[in-house]
Structure 1
Amino acid sequence: MSDVEKGDIGTTHRYAPRPSTIGNPASLGLFSFASTTFILSFYNVSVDGITTPNVVVGMALFCGGLAQLLAGMWEFPRGNAFGATAFTSYGAFWLSFATIFLPGSGIVAAYDSEKELNNALGIYLFSWFIVTFLFFITSLRKSIAFIALFGFLSITFLLLGVGKFVTNPDISKAGGAFGIITAFIAYYIGLADLLASEKSPIVGLPLGAFKYD
């Protein structure tokens, strides 16, 4: 049935689209992204001497990966193309990242040298820097919080990619430091969205949204 129907006396009635009854999945996606990024970034800065990131695999599969993917799918029927694309993309990122470090995948074992593996990971990270930078461009019309989120995330991917290419742990640690900042920004935005969805929130958090006439 079309959205324009004939009435009994020949008049036309235009029906507004039904509003979505799906709750805002943004906080789920942002908290999942933030938590997984937080853990991996702490590993990247070698907190307490941790240099092997494999413990993050489970988190990347189910929290950063599956939960974000679902958040992205729920954003589509809400009409939020930006949120849907971002959550789905980073859900796919975390799923693919976890797959690299799964022993059963054979991906890491396929490389004969650590240098070749680092170069391959560098290309992988650079591709996500490009995707993130495109999100950053789109976020320039949204809010200061989103600009900061995708700006810091772009720098994070860039530094991690360069660190892999030149095999410089200090650059990778810098990428981890920017990742920690990125995670806290994502936590902040997620909390702001969650509070905004409440009928009587205890407090409201500003995102620095731009107003247009």
Structure 2
Amino acid sequence: MRIGDAWVSRRELIQAFGGTLNPGLAAAPSRKFANPAPLGLCAFGLTTFVLCMANVQARGVTNPSVVIGCAYFYGGFIQLCAGMWEMVLENTFGATALSSFGGFWLAFGAIETDAFGIVSAYGDDTNGLNNMLAFFLLAWFIFTFGLVLCTLRSTVGFFLLFFTLDIAFLLLGVGHLYPTDAGGPNVGITKAGGVFGLLSAFFAWYNAFAGLATKENSLITVKPIPMPWNLGHLANKRKSG
């Protein structure tokens, strides 16, 4: 495929779209098993949704303990498996993103589990606990920002998934940096982070559905919307022009 004075191979286009982690756009490589990306995206989306419903205090809920089970088994273990399967498919981006966020949920579950003694280790030092939780979340903000940069040539839905997640990490981290007088995270900032987290969850489900729904199994399919500077979009525009 020729764009301007440069030739762009099909493999380069696939890599630009995040490989199979951007379902519905990138052609899957030849393989003997299914595309793991929708599974990983669903695991991420559902677990994020459950936690962020507590973050926004939906129906007065403030205790997120129910999400611990999801964090260990669905958002954690299942998403980690999906990431490893992306590694088999030679998709570095998909393997890094899904495996890392699977690790995030496992770490979150460990923090929230009394048996690990992580929270109790701080005793009455709520300031130290809040600062460390803030550092934890802000580190994920920095990591996710790098992923956002890697999605700038993908689709709108794929970019928004990581962009809204990045803002959520930032706000949740800042919420712990500026806690209330009672020692808890700043409620207003945490709620805002929860809203962006919910948006990220729905974008994850949207992208997962794009990889699951086909003309053979669904009356409704999702057409990916490429970013304006997407290589494939530019090539098609040049060809039609």
TM-score (norm 2): 0.78
Query: 1:86-101 counterparts in 2 under 5 A?
Result: 86-101=97-112
- Which residue does 1:165 correspond to in 2? 177
- Which residue does 1:7 correspond to in 2? none
**Structure 1 CA distance, aligned partners of 2:30 and 2:206?**
27
Match of 2:194 among 170, 173, 176: 176
The one-letter amino acid paired with 2:150 is T
Shift of 1:75: 0.7
Match of 2:203 among 185, 188, 191: 185
**Structure 2 CA distance, aligned partners of 1:208 and 1:83?**
19
TM-score (norm 1): 0.87
Match of 2:137 among 117, 125, 148: 125
Number of positions where the alignment pairs a residue of Structure 1 with one of Structure 2: 195
Consecutive unaligned residues in structure 1, runs of 5 or more: 1-17
Query: 1:28-177 counterparts in 2 under 5 A?
Result: 28-112=39-123, 113-167=125-179, 168-177=186-195
Q: CA RMSD in A?
A: 1.4
Instruction: Report the structure number with the largest CA radius of gyration.
Output: 1
State the identity %.
44
- Contact 1:20–1:77 (CA<8 Å) still a contact in 2? no
- Contact 1:22–1:78 (CA<8 Å) still a contact in 2? no
Shift of 1:48: 2.1
The one-letter amino acid paired with 1:119 is N
Consecutive unaligned residues in structure 2, runs of 5 or more: 1-28, 180-185, 236-241
